[in-house]
Amino acid sequence: MEELKNNIKSSFDKVKITITDNIMIINIDKNGIVTILSFLKNIGYKHLALISCVDLIKDNKLEIIYIVSAYMDNDHEFKEKEKRNIIIKTRIPRDKPNFMTVMDIFENAEPYERELHELFGIYFQGHPRLTPLFLELEYEVPPFRKDFDTRKFVKDFYEDIPAVE
The residues binding another protein (CB under 8 A) are 134-137, 139, 143, 148, 150-151, 153-154, 158-165
Closer Cβ to another protein, 3 or 147, answer by number: 147
- In whole angstroms, the minimum distance from the beta carbon of 123 to another protein comes to 21
3-state DSSP call for residue 119?
helix
Choice between 39 and 153, CB closer to another protein? 153
> Quick one: 79 or 152, whose CB is closer to another protein?
152
Minimum distance from residue 140 beta carbon to another protein (Å): 12
Torsion, CA 32, CA 104, CA 112, CA 140, rounded to 10: 80
CA pair distance 25, 79, nearest whole angstrom: 22
Q: Is residue 66 within 8 Å of residue 91, measured between CB atoms?
A: no
CB of 53 to another protein, least distance (A): 17
- Residue 137 CB, nearest distance to another protein (Å)? 6
Of the pair 30, 155, the CB lying nearest another protein is at 155
CA atoms of 86 and 132, how far apart (whole Å) = 29
Instruction: Compute the half-sphere exposure of residue 139: CA atoms within 13 Å on the CB side of its CA.
Output: 20
Task: Supply the angle between the helices 33-43 and 2-11 in degrees, to the nearest 10.
Answer: 140
In 3D space, the residue among 67, 33, 65 whose CA is nearest the CA of residue 49 turns out to be: 67
Q: Indicate the residue among 123 and 139 with the shorter CB distance to another protein.
A: 139
The least CB distance from residue 150 to another protein, in Å, is 5
